[in-house]
Amino acid sequence: MELIPGSVFAVMLFRRKQWWLAAALVFGLLAGCTAPVSELDALEFSYPALRKARAKFREGDKSAALAHLKKALDEKPDLAQAHLEAAQLYDNFERNYVRAIYHYERYLELRPQTEKKEMIEGFIRKARIGYAAVPAEQALDWDKKMQALQEENERLKNSLRQVRANLAERIAARPPLPPALSEPETAARVAPPGGAAKPENARYQVRRGDTLSALAARFYHDPRKWKPIYDANQDVLRGTQQLRVGQVLVIPP
């Protein structure tokens, strides 16, 4: 379901005598999107700000709907469906053709395989015709806004690339975890044969389903002896008895 329902949008186009665009829209509604694109769009409908925008549109408050769409795009610039619905509002209610063109083109950039492509390209051509009819002073102002939008989009892309690069550097800088000992190796270190040498603390990497009692049963053959393991790992457990997969614990002899 689009922000402007398809049937209503088609009636609007017929009233404005744009028969070919209305026919293209009806064809698009009957044909639908390819499964991958429709699934991507459907996932985006659950985004909170986009849901609020749709609710406000149903209430008839188009200004509030547009405000929520702007918020959605500030939080998530690659939210394709928000671009498409913002384009429709700018095109059909704000008559701000520059912003409409920008958001239509962003949707096509994010959804290049959509079967709505031909229809949206028709909307872009219509918006350009509308833009050509506006006074020169207003057109100049819209040119500046379009440039600002493009610069903002590039800034957001660069910021996202920098965040990803910083995250990759932090992950690469982390020291590797010590290799987990197999159970025979761990058992040998906990209880060396003959007792000739003082046994060393073993190290064990937590796996899915492990608990302190289960480790006590495994290494000490008594699930009630979990307390020594807990006491030896205060720096890792930090006051909790809950284990996390990947933690490396000391197993006292």
Averaged pLDDT score across all residues of the chain: 74
More confident residue, 192 or 121: 121
Q: Is the dihedral of CA 131, 135, 138, 143 positive or negative?
A: positive
Q: Where in the chain is the domain with CATH 3.10.350.10?
A: 183-251
Q: Which pLDDT belongs to residue 146?
A: 67
> Does the structure show a pLDDT above 60 at 212?
yes
- 3-state SS, residue 89: helix
Q: Where in the chain is the domain with CATH 1.25.40.10?
A: 6-155
Residues 75 and 154: their CA atoms lie apart, in Å, by 15
> Does the structure show a pLDDT above 50 at 71?
yes
Confidence of residue 97 (pLDDT cuts 50, 70, 90): confident
Q: 90 with 96: CB under 8 angstroms?
A: yes
User: The tokens of 35 are what?
Assistant: 């499964």
More confident residue, 144 or 177: 144
What superfamily does domain 183-251 belong to in CATH? LysM domain (3.10.350.10)
Backbone phi and psi for residue 251, each to the nearest 5 degrees, phi listed first: -110, 105
| 89-92 contacts at long range (C-beta below 8 A, 24 or more positions apart) | 89/3, 89/4, 89/57, 89/62, 89/65, 90/66, 91/123, 91/126, 91/127, 91/130, 92/4, 92/9, 92/12
Q: 79 with 47: CB under 8 angstroms?
A: yes
Q: What value does the mean pLDDT take over residues 57-65?
A: 90
Q: What value does the mean pLDDT take over residues 133-157?
A: 66
More confident residue, 189 or 248: 248
CATH number for 6-155: choose from 3.40.710.10, 3.30.1360.120, 3.40.50.150, 1.25.40.10.
1.25.40.10
> Does the structure show a pLDDT above 70 at 140?
no
Q: Which pLDDT belongs to residue 223?
A: 86
Confidence of residue 182 (pLDDT cuts 50, 70, 90): very low
